Amino acid sequence: MIWRKQFISAMFPKFLINNDNVKYIKDASLDRFSTFRIGGKAKHLFIVRDNINLLMVCYLSRLHNLKYKVIGLGANLLFDDDGYNGVIVVNKSDNIMIRDNHVFASSGASMGKLINRCKLRNLSGLENLSGIPSTVGGAVVNNLGAFDCSIADCIEQVECYKKSNLSKRIILKKDDCRFQYRDSIFKHKDYIITRVKFKLNYDNADEINNRITDIINKKSSSQPLNQHSAGSVFKRGKIIPAKVIDELRLKGEHIGGAMVSTKHAGFIVNTGNATSKDVLNLISKIKSQVKISYDEDLEEEIEFVHR
């Protein structure tokens, strides 16, 4: 395959498995892989559709001293305008298997697909996360939550690998994952998540469907889902970011193409031509005004991925 020659000069045949499930793009525009629609070019980008190839690309990147980052839907990321001088691995490994009320989901599966599959089997527990653009892996890393529910509530165990030893599978129980508000061990340790085991509850299909519909309607009415953003910009702390930003009358405030949403003050939206510099400068301005007015430091929830 062409990508073998472009990516690396020497390959090991034993790692070349199911190559039809790998797509390589050289100098890929990262705005295509971010819900913000912002970002320069990645030197190398792979789209992988199974865990074998996910681990293989990560292994080869490390072997050849290339920095790399695994992403899902790019919904919590802000890519640098200057791009990424390494390997971006887009994880689309999306196998889902259900045994009774236990669900095994590959980390590249979208939360929407997972929730819908569970609904068809009368399994409840993840409905509050409906309408959030995330893969299972990204949701676990960030302990995705909404309406007083988080993904950690339904997790039994996480299958993962340390970046320093991709040949050894590790199974972490829920308590080992150190879940906290929008946080987990995976944000601080170098792990690659491959599969997650959930334990859900049986419920009436109509009730499950009604909850999903209600959640999506609530999000649609209060969040700028029709505009490009990376979701909530700041974490909740002693203060509620959206509330204080609103009180400071910063809705509609903009720098370049980046604007504080007029619908939800916790979101920054790309009005069409925003750059990462626009977003970072707007974040800095918001944090400065909150600090002056409330003497509180806002902490970003989104991650800035730079060269």
Interacting residues of 255 by C-beta distance below 8 A, sequence separation 6+: 278, 281, 282, 285
4/240: higher pLDDT: 240
| HSE (side-chain half, CA atoms, 13 Å) at 200 | 29
Q: Which amino acid is at 277?
A: K
The mean pLDDT of 96-104, rounded to a whole number, is 97
* Domains of the chain, each with CATH number or no CATH: 2-91 (3.30.43.10), 96-206 (3.30.465.10), 225-305 (3.90.78.10)
- The per-residue pLDDT for 62 is 92
Residue type, 259: M
Contact 265, 221 (CB under 8 A): no
Q: Do 116 and 161 meet the contact criterion of CB atoms below 8 Å apart?
A: no
Which is the catalytic residue, given 150, 232, 261, 276?
232
Q: Which neighbouring-strand residues pair with 270? A: 228, 258
pLDDT > 70 fraction of the chain, expressed in percent and rounded:
94
Query: What DSSP letter does each residue of 251-305 carry, written as one string?
Result: TT-EETTEEE-SS-TTEEEE-SS--HHHHHHHHHHHHHHHHHHH-----BSSEEE
pLDDT given for residue 18 in this prediction: 45
Question: Looking at the predicted structure, is the pLDDT value of residue 1 above 60?
Answer: no
Instruction: Measure CA of the first residue to CA of the last residue in the chain; give whole Å.
Output: 27
Strand partners, 234: 300
pLDDT of residue 279: 98
Q: Is 185 exposed, middle or buried (0-12, 13-18, 19+ CB in 10 A)?
A: middle
The three state secondary structure string of 167-188 is EEEEEEEHHHHCCECCECHHHC
Q: Is residue 182 annotated as a catalytic residue, yes or no? A: yes
Question: 10 Å Cβ neighbour count for 230?
Answer: 27
Here the tokens at position 28 are: 């890929």
Tokens 């009005």 found at: 271
Secondary structure letter of residue 204 according to DSSP: -
Asked about 169 being catalytic, the answer comes back as no
Active site residue 99: no
Angle between helix 111-120 and helix 205-222 axes, rounded to 10 deg: 150
Tens of pLDDT, residue by residue over 23-44, are: 889 999 999 999 999 999 999 9
User: Is the Cβ–Cβ distance between 79 and 64 less than 8 Å?
Assistant: no
Select which of 182, 184, 195, 276 is catalytic: 182
Beta 77-79 vs 303-305: how paired, if at all? parallel
Q: What is the pLDDT of residues 191-240, one digit of tens each?
A: 999 999 999 999 999 999 999 999 999 999 999 999 999 999 999 989 99
Share of the chain above pLDDT 90, in %: 86
State residue 265's pLDDT score. 97
Query: 75-92 pLDDT, tens per residue?
Result: 999 999 999 999 999 999
Convert the pLDDT of each residue in 49-70 to its tens digit: 999 999 999 999 998 899 999 9
The β-bridge relationship of strands 84-91 and 68-71 is: parallel
Over the stretch 166-198, which tens digit does the pLDDT of each residue have? 999 999 999 999 999 989 999 998 999 999 999
Q: Are 31 and 38 in contact (CB under 8 A)?
A: yes
Residue-level pLDDT at 45: 94
Length of the chain equals: 307
